[in-house]
Amino acid sequence: MNPEPKPMWFDPQLRAKSDELLGAVSRLSNTLLEHETATGLRERARKDADRKNFYAAVEALACNLILLKATGTNAKLAVPRSHGFLWQGSTRANPVYGQHFLTAIDLLASLGFITEARRGYRISAKSRMPSLIGPTDSLTQHLPLAPPDWQSVQQIDDPIFIILKEGKDEHGHAAPIAFRETAQSRKFANQVRRLNKFLREADVEVTGQDTGLSLGKDGYIIAPYRRSLRRIFNNGTWQHGGRLAGGFWMSMERAERGRIRIDGEHIANVDYRQLFPRLAYVRAREAQPESDIYDVAGDGTGRDGWKKLMNAMVFSDGPLRNWPEDTRQHFPTGTKLRDAIEMLEEKHAPIKHLFGAGLGFQLMRIESDMIIEVTTYLAQAGITALPLHDAVLVAESKADFAARAMQAHFERGTASPGAIVSTVFWQS
């Protein structure tokens, strides 16, 4: 029995790009409103503002369903129905969300244009399973689903540029929290706004999409128009995290990124190697090791395991009690966690006191600042750079320039010459 495909997550920023699709969405919206009136589901006419929001909800739903169909799979669209989500602070200002959003889904289902595969349910106070819907053959009469005209869909900029999240709960989920706007939060938002403006006009494409689209690791469509970034801070403080999210390239498998073209060129991945432990050496005011930090055994064996273990110790707030996930198998059979930790502490004695000090999210904030500064600097030089956690993707002809910029920003930001910048070229 084949496992059920993972769902595609609803994107409220999707809109019609072509006049043809916009007209089809308008006619579909009118059909839904006429059905609502004819069946007595609503007695009073909608006010202009509510009617406009209803159209926005139908447009977003229609565009999401077109993209879902373009995956060529049996995947369903995960849509939020929880009042706790639809009316929370971070979504309340979005015209797509509200009671009109739920009404649009119910009307689509009532007319047989969608199927409701599952109604969402709560797992815990902070964690819920989403509702799942999918298009029916009847919807093909109203939207370009056969074949799905996904190139008529676009993504408008997300009005939210920064998100502050609380700490993760027992299920690993972290809910966004409201925050008071300050000079600092405005600075963060303006940085992302400027990056989004530059990326929106950049020449970025993905090859091999003639036969359809695919879903990324995060459950969102891999499509070149998904460039609207936001910055996410963690644990209820601006000093933790701050990584960028939302770009289509971030949800691609590493091997798949070779399909990206920037300015018509193959791309290069330019990254900081061993960045977290090197930032830890900076924090400890110690000289950077000249050798590979993760080569703890000295012969290159078990490097992936040492990397996972070391980064877990940097993030851990207290001694590690168990092997980090997907780590134990990288060590020889019978290796005890205690012995591995002692070996790691001996290898990196200058930063031993920082292990278990919960430093990881602070280092992540430094990392994210550096990548934003590098990406902004490259944009000012007219170079398109797609930011990743500790790396940028650039056209291969710009790789050397990007590498020099990353080295310079590390040295300027840390007063240390110890960054190792590496470049990987894709020729797929």
pLDDT higher than 80, residue 12: yes
The model's pLDDT over 53-89, given as tens digits with 9 standing for 90+, comes to 999 999 999 999 999 999 999 999 999 887 666 655 5
* Contact call for residues 191 and 380 (beta carbons, < 8 A): no
Do 159 and 94 form a contact (C-beta atoms < 8 A)?
yes
pLDDT of 123 over the 50 cut: no
Question: What is the reported pTM?
Answer: 0.88
What is the average pLDDT across 128-142? Answer: 90
Evaluate whether 385 touches 378 at the Cβ level (below 8 Å).
yes
The pLDDT tens digits for 239-258 are: 999 999 999 999 999 889 99
Euclidean distance between CA atoms 33 and 107, whole angstroms: 8
Among 172-181, 358-367, 417-426, the range scoring the smallest mean pLDDT is 417-426
Whole-number Cα distances in Å, 156 to 193, 196, 200, 343, 369: 13, 11, 9, 51, 25
Sequence-distant (≥ 6) Cβ neighbours of residue 333 within 8 angstroms? none
Phi and psi, residue 87, nearest 5°? -115, 15
CA–CA distance, 171 with 175 (Å, rounded to integer): 11
CA 91 to chain centre: 17
Q: Burial, 128: exposed, middle or buried (Cβ in 10 Å; 0-12, 13-18, 19+)?
A: middle
What's the chain's average pLDDT?
89
Helix (H, G, I), strand (E, B) or coil at 267: strand
Tens digits of residue pLDDT in 196-253? 999 999 999 999 887 789 999 889 999 998 999 999 999 999 999 999 999 999 999 9
pLDDT digits (tens, 9 = 90+) for 311-354: 999 999 999 999 999 999 999 999 999 999 999 999 999 999 99
Q: Where are the domains of the chain?
A: 8-145, 162-275+360-425, 277-354
Tokens representing residue 140 in the block? 């093909």
* Alpha carbon distance, N-terminus to C-terminus of the chain: 34
Q: Count of CB atoms within 10 A of residue 267's CB?
A: 28
